[in-house]
Each structure stands twice: as C-alpha cells, then as structure tokens.
Amino acid sequence: MRLIRSLNRNVYQMILIILALCLYIDCSCQNSFSFESLLNTKPILKKVNANSKKYRLQIIYTQITRDSQGKAEFKDYTYHVDSSNYFYCASLVKLPCAILALEKTKRLHVYSNTIMFTDSANACQRSVRKDTTSVNGYPSIAQYIKRMALVSDNFAYGRVYEFLGVDEIHNRMEELGYKNVRIIHRFDGGCKGTEHTTTNPVTFLKNDLTPITSQPQQEASRLYTHPLGEVKVGKAHLNAQNKKVNQPKDFSDMNYISLENIHSMLKRLIFNNELPSKQRYAMIEEDRQFLIEQLTALPRESSHPTYNRSYHDSYKKYFMYGDSRKPITKSDIKITNIVGQSYGFMVDCAYIQNKKENVEFMLSAVVYANEDEIINDGKYEYSTIALPFLAELGRQIYAFELKRKK
C-alpha cells in the first residue's frame, strides 16, 4: 500500500513537471520574436523586406513589460538600423523643437500659452502677431505645438524654431546626449542658406499686451555641418526652377536626425518620470502631458483649430491605419507619435498602447519609396508602398503583442 502511494506521488510530481514545462514552452513560443518571421507574413512586408537596401528600410521595436510595481522594463529589437543609412528626417524635427520650447518657457518663467509675438529683422523673416486658430486670436508656443503635433504644421514649426535659436537647439540636444542631431532650417518662408541660422526677435506679453520678456535676433555662433558629411540621394532631381538635373540631390545642408535618436526622444518623453532626474526633460509636468495629448489626438478631435475632412483620422497615424482613410473606430488603441514625409522618405515613430488588452510597445520605421530615383518630381510611391508597409507592420506587431505573455 505504501509503495502504491509512493508511486502515485511520483506520478503526480511528474505530471506537474510536464505541465510546467508545457506552460514554459508555450510562453517562450508566444514571446519569441523575429523580424525575419514577421516580415514574411504579408505580401507588402515581403516585398519591402526582399529589397530592404533599395527601400532603405530601418525598424526599431521596443517591447514594454511592467513589473509588479508598475515600472516599465524595455527590450529593443532592431532591423537594418544604421545611422549612416541616410534618410531625410523631414517633420521629425518638430518633436525635439516642441520639447525644447516647453523647457525654455519654463526657464523663462512664462506659461506655454502666454502670448508670443515674432518680429522680423531682415527681408526673409516674417512678423507674426495674430493667430486666428487660437481661442484669443494671438499666437503662443502651446498653440504652435498643438498645430505641429496634430497636422505637422510647417508654419507653426518655423515660429518655434525661431524662438529657440540654432545654438540653443544644438547645445541642449548635446546635453541630452543627442550629439549628431542637426536642425538648421525652417520649412516655410523665403530664407536661404545661412539666413536659416539667423532667427527672429521674440516677445512674450500679458493678456493686455504689456511686454513680459523679449529676446533679440539670434545668429548661430558656429557652422553646424552634417554628421554624415556629404549626403546625396537619387540619380536625378528637379531644381528650384523645376528643371531636371541629372545628378543626385544634395542633402548635406539639410536637417538630420537618426532613427535611434527620434525613438529615444519619444521614449524619454513618455517615460520621463521614471528616469533619473538628470536624464529628464526639464519641463512642467502639465506641459509634458499637453504635448503627449496633442501627439495622440486625431485632427477631428481638435477645436481651435478646427480641421476639415481632408485631415482624415490616419493623416498622421501611419502605423496600423496609414493605408486607409476610414474613421478610426477603435478608441481603446492610442497612438502617440511623430511622422515625417518628404522626398520619397516616410517615417513614423510611435508609442502604441491599449490598456484594456494590456498592450504597450514602441515602434519606429523608415522606408524610401521612390521607384524612378528622381527627387522632387512629386512621383513617390507613398500610397502603394510606404503607407501599406507601415500600416501592415504596425498591425503585425500589434497582433504579436496581443499574444505576448507579459
């Protein structure tokens, strides 16, 4: 009888061990991630992956797992990430400029929604004293940031860039550890060459238009060269006179941010309060939350400004939704992101979460869609290659996250 009991106990223990092993293997399989496997799941992913060099493909995926105290732990997966594999960052520069502008208003002891007048000190600069999109009809850093975050407004970016000044942008970026970031020009106006590195006088005012503080015109104290040296893309380009030049376009005098840097900047913004104090952005918490909210919101959710239907829900949400103009109905999925699109390059950097489904991750990717290799001719495969790829990539990562054991 005792022998039977002993055997039963051993069998029971073996069953428990086998069940534990099965559970471990199941969890391991569900948590096992491979870009090669994922990029072979759908035709558009296969197509771009099979020609990754041609499409200048780069991807960063960050898994986020919370411990019992709710603290985030990160695991990064990268694919073809190479800072020397050039892509034009386009509107990505709006994120660091928004962050630095909120830091600067705190340092100047003015609120981000304080009235700000921009003056002109030379022929290419513009004076701005009205903003019809705001509640009070006046411009402010907060209103400019809102426009930049919601629809990637270039005019708004220009005024924030001028408020910061070129030296301050680069000095602060270096302090934060981003030594290879280069932001040296606006996207609007008639400024050319070094005129871009001379920025306008700015004044902050009370509601009765009494001046609070002002800063004079600023000139860059040094030449900010491109971190990659000479950078040329394509086999031909159209010049300012719309004439074809049978030479690559030179990007050596343009802005630059690597995919790793923009991914890190957004990650830092989202998880700012979990970082050591010296690594945090020096902004008011209310301003940080405001920026995150605007980066997450859809254009139709905005009042002041109000956007028409041409700014569809996926206008700035390339991952998951970029290949459709239908309304985004899944309200549980929140995408906090910054995008760039220009000269055939398309890039998205996003923090994606669904608290209801316990999904939380970061994803950044860039793809170059320019089959004829002619820059500036307006013939890019955004809608047939870039957007379908980014949307499907986002959906596949999200599907993986739904199954992943946290």
Please give the model's pTM, rounded to 2 decimal places.
0.91
Q: What average pLDDT does the segment 105-112 reach?
A: 98
Q: What is the pLDDT of residue 27?
A: 45
Rounded percentage of the chain residues whose pLDDT exceeds 90: 86
> Is residue 31 scored above 90 in pLDDT?
no
> Is residue 7 scored above 70 in pLDDT?
no
Per-residue pLDDT reduced to its tens digit, 345-359: 999 999 999 999 999
> Is residue 326 scored above 90 in pLDDT?
yes
Q: What is the pLDDT of residue 304?
A: 94
Of the listed ranges 25-39, 89-103, 208-222, 271-285, the one predicted with least confidence: 25-39
- Band (pLDDT 50/70/90 cuts) for residue 146 is very high
Of the listed ranges 21-30, 157-166, 200-209, 375-384, the one predicted with least confidence: 21-30
Identify whether 327 is preceded by a cis peptide bond (ω within 30 of 0): no
**Between residues 4 and 194, the one the model is more confident about:** 194
Listed residue (204, 164, 202) closest to 181, CA to CA: 164
Q: What is the pLDDT of residue 119?
A: 97
Give the side-chain half-sphere CA count within 13 A for 218: 19
Q: What is the pLDDT of residue 14?
A: 55
- Band (pLDDT 50/70/90 cuts) for residue 15 is very low
Tell me if residue 251 falls in helix, strand or coil: coil
- Band (pLDDT 50/70/90 cuts) for residue 390 is very high
How many residues are present in the chain? Answer: 406
Are 215 and 201 a contacting pair, CB within 8 Å? yes
Secondary element (H or E) of residue 211: strand 211-215
What's the mean pLDDT when you consider all of the chain?
Answer: 92
**For the chain, what are the domain ranges?**
36-403
Per-residue pLDDT reduced to its tens digit, 210-253: 999 999 999 999 999 999 999 999 999 999 899 999 999 999 99
C-alpha 76/C-alpha 96 separation (Å) is 22
Q: What average pLDDT does the segment 271-277 reach?
A: 93
> Is residue 1 scored above 60 in pLDDT?
no
36-403 folds as Beta-lactamase (3.40.710)
Per-residue pLDDT reduced to its tens digit, 285-318: 999 999 999 999 999 999 999 999 999 999 999 9
Q: What is the pLDDT of residue 17?
A: 44
Per-residue pLDDT reduced to its tens digit, 59-78: 999 999 999 899 999 999 99
Secondary element (H or E) of residue 215: strand 211-215
Give the side-chain half-sphere CA count within 13 A for 354: 12
Q: What average pLDDT does the segment 270-294 reach?
A: 96
Determine phi and psi for 148, rounding to 5 degrees.
Answer: -65, -45
Cross-strand bridge partners of residue 232: 250
For tokens 């759908």, what's the residue? 42
Q: What is the pLDDT of residue 192?
A: 86
Strands (E), 241-397: 244-245, 249-250, 334-342, 345-354, 359-368, 374-375
Give the burial class of 190: count Cβ atoms within 10 A of its Cβ; 0-12 exposed, 13-18 middle, 19 or more buried. Answer: exposed
